Amino acid sequence: MRATLVLIGGLMLVAGCSDGEDAADTGGKNGGAATASTASAGAGNRPAPGGTMKADVSALAADTSGLEVRITDMGTIIDLPSDTLFDFDKATLTAAAEVELAKAAEMIRRAPPGAIEVIGHTDSKGEDDYNRKLSEARAKTVAEWFGRQVGVRQREFRVSGKGEAAPIAANAMADGVDDPAGRAKNRRVEVLLPAGASSR
């Protein structure tokens, strides 16, 4: 009888330890799940600094991607195609213009202190005086748009129009035949950022 009781007691002790281990494992797993859940909830409310930085950098890269940018001794020049910003022979912004202007505005926000120059250009078609006035009107429209943007509007903008006087591509081919692609490149509004501005 005594041996039976000892045997039953031993079995109960083993079972109790086993249950305790299972409970501890379950508790550990549940505790781990609870911890993960809490961390996840915390991460949702307060992202880790590393994750936030990556998200910010990606968004910034997306904001400025696709811009035509040139680095010169004078500063960083953003070439905004007039064909994207304006309808033919107009100085009123198109609906698609805001996408390109928003990218340029992001670069202005990151630019060093100093005045921002906005310079309009046309191709060689038409009269010189007319082209100069159109290019200046377009530059003024772009500068006015920047002047309404948060983080940009406090900057000083200098506006000018050069018409067809400063092409960046040939308006005609070597044999004198019209070059539509070259003329398209010349129809632009340049945004000149102070020297030292980043293009990325």
Q: Are residues 35 and 64 in the same domain?
A: no
- Binned at pLDDT 50, 70 and 90, residue 181 comes out as very high
How confident is the prediction for the chain on average, in pLDDT?
Answer: 76
Kindly report, residue by residue over 113-165, the tens digit of the pLDDT.
999 999 999 999 999 999 999 999 999 999 999 999 999 999 999 999 999 99
Rounded Cα distance, 187 and 200, in Å: 24
Minimum mean pLDDT among 1-5, 31-35, 92-96, 142-146: which range?
A: 31-35
Instruction: Tell me: do 79 and 118 sit in the same domain.
Output: yes
Same domain, 14 and 83: no
In this structure, are 98 and 170 located in the same domain? yes
Please write the tens of the pLDDT for every residue from 40-85: 333 344 444 444 333 333 333 334 678 889 998 889 999 999 999 9
Q: Are residues 120 and 157 in the same domain?
A: yes
> Residue 115: which of 156, 74, 150, 159 has the closest Cα?
156
Determine contact, residues 189/119, Cβ cutoff 8 Å.
Answer: yes
Same domain, 184 and 87: yes
Q: Is residue 199 part of a domain?
A: no
Closest CA to 146 of 70, 53, 80: 80
Q: Are residues 87 and 13 in the same domain?
A: no
Q: Provide the number of structural domains found in the chain.
A: 2
The range of the structural domain enclosing residue 137 comes to 55-194
CATH assignment of the domain containing 100: 3.30.1330.60
Q: Are both 112 and 190 inside the same structural domain?
A: yes
Please check the confidence at residue 17 and state whether its pLDDT lies above 90. Answer: no
Report pLDDT for 42.
37
What pLDDT was estimated at residue 52? 38
Task: Confirm whether pTM is higher than 0.75.
Answer: no
44 to 47, 55, 176: CA distances (angstroms)? 6, 14, 63
Q: Per the domain annotation, does 167 fall within a domain?
A: yes
Residues 24, 120, single domain; the answer is no
